[in-house]
Structure 1
C-alpha cells in the first residue's frame, strides 16, 4: 500500500516553441512545476507550500504560476522568471506577485504575448468577470462582466468567447463579446454541453464540441453568421477538439469508455494523422505557440502519468517521462488493468463499470468487494491510475468502479437520468450493483461503499437509504445533507450546484428527502470519514454532523480532519496517513 501511495504523478501544463514542457509532478509531496527539456532533463521550478499549476508566457522565459493556500481554491497569480537559471526551486517569496487578493479567486484562463487572461470573482464574490492584463504597464481591461460562473475563455484580438455554466443541469452556454456587444452563440436554456470552445484564428469562426440536438458531443464549426457545420461526429462516443494556434490543424480527442484516442485533422475536419499512444488511458494536450509540437500527458490504470512530445507533422512520439520508470518490476506486474462490463438494472438500463480483479487474494479477503464511486456528479470514472483502487486490489478486494446514471461520458440521455427529482435513482443503482456482485466472483454479504465528494454523498446515501446491504463505508468530503450543503457551500458555487440537486427555495422538501441525515435512524454500518478543513465546496460541517450523529447512536465512525487540505487530499503526507487507515478499516470489516 505505502509503495503505491509513494508513486508520484505527472501532468502536462504547457509546451514552448523549443520543445520545453511545463509539467506538474508531486514527487516532492504536492504538485509542483517541473520543466522538462527536449533532451529529457528535468528541472524543478517551484517548491510552494501547496499544489500549483502554470503556463509559459509566449516569447519569454517566464511562467505564470497559479497557486492557492492549503486547498482553499482561492487562486492567486504570480510570475516566475526562468532566466538566469535559478539555483533552487522557487518558494512563494521568490515569485513576483501578478494578481493577488487572498479574499477572492483569480484563475488563469489563457496567456498571450504580453498579456494574461484570468477570471475573478472579486467584484461581488459570486459572479466571475474576465480580465485581460497588459504586462507592459499593468493595466487591466474587463472584457466580460455579465455575471455567471465562467468555465472557460478564449480570446482572439478584440473578441472573447466565454463558456458559462448555465442553469440547466450538466449544460453550458457560449457567449461571444466583441466591442462590448454580446452575442449568444448558444441559448441560455439549451440543455446541452458545449466544451472546448476556441476561435479559429483569422476566420472569425469558433470550433467547439457540442451535443446540441444529439446524444454525444460532436465537433462543430460556428461561423460569423451563426451557421453550424459538423466537422467530426460519432453516435457512440463524445469527441472534443483543440485547434492549433495558427488554426491549420485540429487535435481531436475521441472519448471511448473512459479512455482517449488522439488524431490530428485538418481545419476542415479531414484526418491528417493518427497519434499512436503507448497505452490506453486518459490524455490531455497542449500545442506549442508555433503549432509544430504537442505536449501530451497520458494517465492510465497502470501508469500515474507519462509525458509525451509529439511532432504535429507526422504524429511521431518522443517519451519524455515514462510513469512506470519509478516502479519495481514486481509492482509493474502486480498492477491491474480493469475489465469493462455493463451491469443490468431494475428498469432495463445498463451501468458501465470497470472491474479490477485481484490475481491472488488473501484467503480472509477473497470475495470481498469495494464499490468505488466517482465524484461530480457531472463527471465520470475513467481509465486513470488510482493508487487507492490498486491498493485495494493488491490487498485482495474486487474493486468495482461504476458510472451510475448521471455520469458523463456515456451520452446526454445517461447523464440526465439523475437530474434533480431523479437523484435517488442513481442511489438505487448501487443496489443493482450489489445484486450483480456474484457475477464478478464476489460475496454480496461483504460489500463496502467508498467514494469522494459526490461519491461520498453516494456512500452515505447508500448506507442510509438501503441499510443492511453493506459491510462498511468509507468516504471523503461527502455531503451528509443536501440542505446544509447548499446553505453552507461557497456563494459562488451555490447556484450551479442547485441546478443539479434542486434549489433551497423551490425544492426544499425533496432535498430533505434526498439527504442521508434524514435516514439517520437506519444507519448501522461502520463508517470512515476523511475531510479537509479548508474545503470551499463541501464544508467540514458536513462530515462533523454525520460523525456527531453516529456517535450519538453508537455506530462506529472515525473522522480524520486535515487542517492544510481543501476538497480532497493534495499532499502526500496526508494521503499516507489517511488512505492506509481507510484500507485497514475496510479490511477489518470485509474479512471473512
Structure 2
C-alpha cells in the first residue's frame, strides 16, 4: 500500500511526559485524534484521559496522581487539574472527572515543576502580560507567590528541599535568558545570577548540593553544560564540544547528566557523572540516532530511569525507557509497525552555498519512484520559530509530498538553532530579511541537484508561514506556489494584535512597534502584496493567541483582490496549528493536491 497523505496522517505517534520511580511512563498518544494521556507499565497501555483537545501531564511525586494541563480549542490558556490513579475507573477521564487545581479560563497557566504534594506553575492572571511563579499545596490549595518580578518565565526548577527556586526570564538580547534565584522562605528575596544584557541561553536547570547545572552558551558560540555557583554566579564548564551544541538534563539526585549532542538535526545521547566525566553511551534504536520532538527527556524521581520521546525519519514517534545504570533503552511502543513494510524516505544532508559565503544546512528527501508529472518539482518546508530547528524526524507531510513525486528540501536558514549562537542571531532585528534571502540561495541551488527552478513551492507554519509569504512577495519570480499555515502577513499588525504577553516577548526578536515600525512595515509581505504572482493556500485556527486569524484573512483578501487563486481554510476549534486529526485530514490533503496541481509539468 502506498504512503498516501491520509494514511500517513492516521498513524499514531507517542510522546513521553514523565516516569515514576517504578518505571511507569506517563505518555501521550494521538490515536484518538488528539494527544491524550496513557500510562505504560508492565506491557500494558492504560488510557487515562479523553478530553476534547490535546493535553500534557506530570506525575505528582510519591502519589498515584497526575497533574493534567489542558486548554480549550487550542487557545493556549492552560488549566491545571488532578487525576487520581488510585481509584478504579471504567473509562478514561473526561473533564468533569478531573479535580480542579488551577482553573481560571481567562488566563494562561503553565506547569513548571512538580514536588511532593506541591506544584510550581506560571500564571499571567495578575496583569495579562507578566508571568508570576506560584507554588501551590495540592491538598490544601494554599498558594505562595515565589516570583512576581515581571517577564515571561520560561523555566523553573525547585531545589530538593524546596527552599530555593531557580528560574529564567527573557534577557534583553534576542534568544537570551536571565537566570534568577529565589529564596522561597523569604518572599521578595531574589538574586540575579546572570546579567540582563548577556547574550546567552540558560536552559534545562538542575540542582546540585553546591549549585546549579545549566545548559548555556555564555561566552561561547555552542551550548555546553556548566555548573553555576548560586552565591557568586561563577560558572565552571562540565561538558563542552567544539563541534556540536550540547544539552544536559541532571538527575534528581545530582549524580548523573544525560547529554545530547545535536549533530546536524539528529541526536546522540550519553550519560556523564556530575563532574562531566563520560560514563557510557545511551543505546537507541535507529543506529543510535534520534530526533527529539517535545517534550524534553524526563528523569524518574529516584534517578534510575529516563523517559524519552523518540522519533527518526522512519519512526513516527515512540516512548522509550532508558536504564541509567546500563545505558540500554527499551521501546515501550511500536509506531513503525503501522507502516506495514512501507519504507519512509530518509534525507541526505547538504550544505548549500549562499551569496555571502555561508553554508546553509539543508536536508533533501528524494522520491524513490519517479512521477512523470511531478519529476523535478521542489517543495521547501520552512520551520517556525524562528528560533527553532528542522530535525531529521518523521514528518507525514514530508513523506506524503515525496511519495507523490516531489523532492522536498528542509533547510535551517539563518535564525535556526542547533548550529551555534552566530547562526541563530544572524536574522535578528534589522537583519530580518537575510533569512528570506536564504530562500533565494536555495532556489539558485535547485538545478545543481536536478530540479526545475520554475516548479518550486514554499510550505511553512507560524514563522515558517511568514517565510512563505515573504518569499512570494519579495521573490515573486522564483516561486510557483505557497502553503501558509498560521503565518504572519504583517509584522506590524501581528505585534499590534497578538496576545499582550506574546508582544512583550516577541518584540525582542523582531523589533518594537515604538522604535522599528517603519522597518517592520518594509519587512512585511502584506506591504509588497502587489508583487505576488503565485497561487496561495492558507490554513489557520480561529483561536490562535499567537498569530491572530486576521493575519490570514488580510493576506487572503489582498491576494484574491489581485485575481489570484487563494484558498483560506479556518478551523473554529484550533489555535496555533492543527492539533486535531480530523482537521488535519481535511486541511493537508487539500494542500498537497494544491501543490500537485501547480507544480505539475505542463503538457
For residues 490-515 of structure 1, what are the alpha-carbon distances to aligned partners after superposition, in whole Å with 9 as ceiling and x for unaligned?
00010111111110000011001100
**Number of paired residues?**
586
For residues 20-69 of structure 1, what are the alpha-carbon distances to aligned partners after superposition, in whole Å with 9 as ceiling and x for unaligned?
100001000000001000x2210110000000000001111100000000
Task: Identify the residue that residue 297 of structure 1 maps to in structure 2.
Answer: 309
- Within the candidate set 280, 297, 317, 1:285 is matched to 297
Shift in Å at residue 226 of structure 1? 2.4
Shift in Å at residue 322 of structure 1? 2.1
Task: Identify the residue that residue 30 of structure 2 maps to in structure 1.
Answer: 26
Measure the CA separation in 2 of the matches of 1:256 and 1:186: 28
Shift in Å at residue 285 of structure 1? 1.5
SS at match of 2:66: strand
Verify the 8 A CA contact 1:166 1:496 in the aligned structure 2. no
Verify the 8 A CA contact 1:10 1:25 in the aligned structure 2. yes
Q: Is the counterpart of residue 514 in structure 1 residue 523 in structure 2?
A: yes
- Within the candidate set 339, 355, 358, 1:349 is matched to 358
Task: Identify the residue that residue 162 of structure 1 maps to in structure 2.
Answer: 167
Q: Is the counterpart of residue 221 in structure 1 residue 204 in structure 2?
A: no
Measure the CA separation in 1 of the matches of 2:37 and 2:448: 45
Task: Identify the residue that residue 481 of structure 1 maps to in structure 2.
Answer: 490
Task: Identify the residue that residue 75 of structure 1 maps to in structure 2.
Answer: 78
Task: Identify the residue that residue 177 of structure 1 maps to in structure 2.
Answer: 182
Matches within 5 A, 1:480-499: 480-499=489-508
Q: Is the counterpart of residue 232 in structure 1 residue 239 in structure 2?
A: yes
Measure the CA separation in 2 of the matches of 1:444 and 1:518: 25
Matches within 5 A, 1:306-325: 306-325=318-337
Q: Is the counterpart of residue 190 in structure 1 residue 202 in structure 2?
A: no
Measure the CA separation in 2 of the matches of 1:253 and 1:143: 31
Shift in Å at residue 361 of structure 1? 2.3
Matches within 5 A, 1:255-404: 255-279=262-286, 280-283=289-292, 284-329=296-341, 331=342, 333=343, 335-404=344-413
For residues 508-540 of structure 1, what are the alpha-carbon distances to aligned partners after superposition, in whole Å with 9 as ceiling and x for unaligned?
110011000111111110000000000000000
SS at match of 1:17: coil
Runs of 4+ in 1 over 6 A off after TM superposition: none
Shift in Å at residue 262 of structure 1? 1.0
SS at match of 2:514: coil
Q: Is the counterpart of residue 121 in structure 1 residue 105 in structure 2?
A: no
Shift in Å at residue 323 of structure 1? 1.9
Measure the CA separation in 2 of the matches of 1:63 and 1:577: 33
User: Which range is displaced more, 178-187 or 351-360?
Assistant: 178-187
Shift in Å at residue 86 of structure 1? 1.4
- Within the candidate set 192, 205, 212, 2:218 is matched to 212
Q: Is the counterpart of residue 91 in structure 1 residue 94 in structure 2?
A: yes
Which residues of structure 1 form unaligned runs of 5+?
none
SS at match of 2:570: strand
Q: Is the counterpart of residue 16 in structure 1 residue 20 in structure 2?
A: yes
Shift in Å at residue 164 of structure 1? 1.0
SS at match of 2:493: helix
User: Which range is displaced more, 263-272 or 319-328?
Assistant: 319-328
Shift in Å at residue 228 of structure 1? 1.2
Shift in Å at residue 238 of structure 1? 0.9
Q: Is the counterpart of residue 112 in structure 1 residue 115 in structure 2?
A: yes
Shift in Å at residue 248 of structure 1? 1.0
Which residues of structure 2 form unaligned runs of 5+?
none
Task: Identify the residue that residue 442 of structure 1 maps to in structure 2.
Answer: 451
Shift in Å at residue 468 of structure 1? 1.5
Measure the CA separation in 1 of the matches of 2:548 and 2:538: 13
Measure the CA separation in 2 of the matches of 1:184 and 1:236: 30
Verify the 8 A CA contact 1:167 1:496 in the aligned structure 2. no
Shift in Å at residue 281 of structure 1? 2.1
Task: Identify the residue that residue 561 of structure 1 maps to in structure 2.
Answer: 570
User: Which range is displaced more, 18-27 or 181-190?
Assistant: 181-190
For residues 454-485 of structure 1, what are the alpha-carbon distances to aligned partners after superposition, in whole Å with 9 as ceiling and x for unaligned?
00000000000111111111110001100000
Measure the CA separation in 1 of the matches of 2:109 and 2:489: 30
User: Which range is displaced more, 308-317 or 455-464?
Assistant: 308-317
Q: Is the counterpart of residue 251 in structure 1 residue 255 in structure 2?
A: no
What is the aligned-residue RMSD (CA, Å)?
0.9
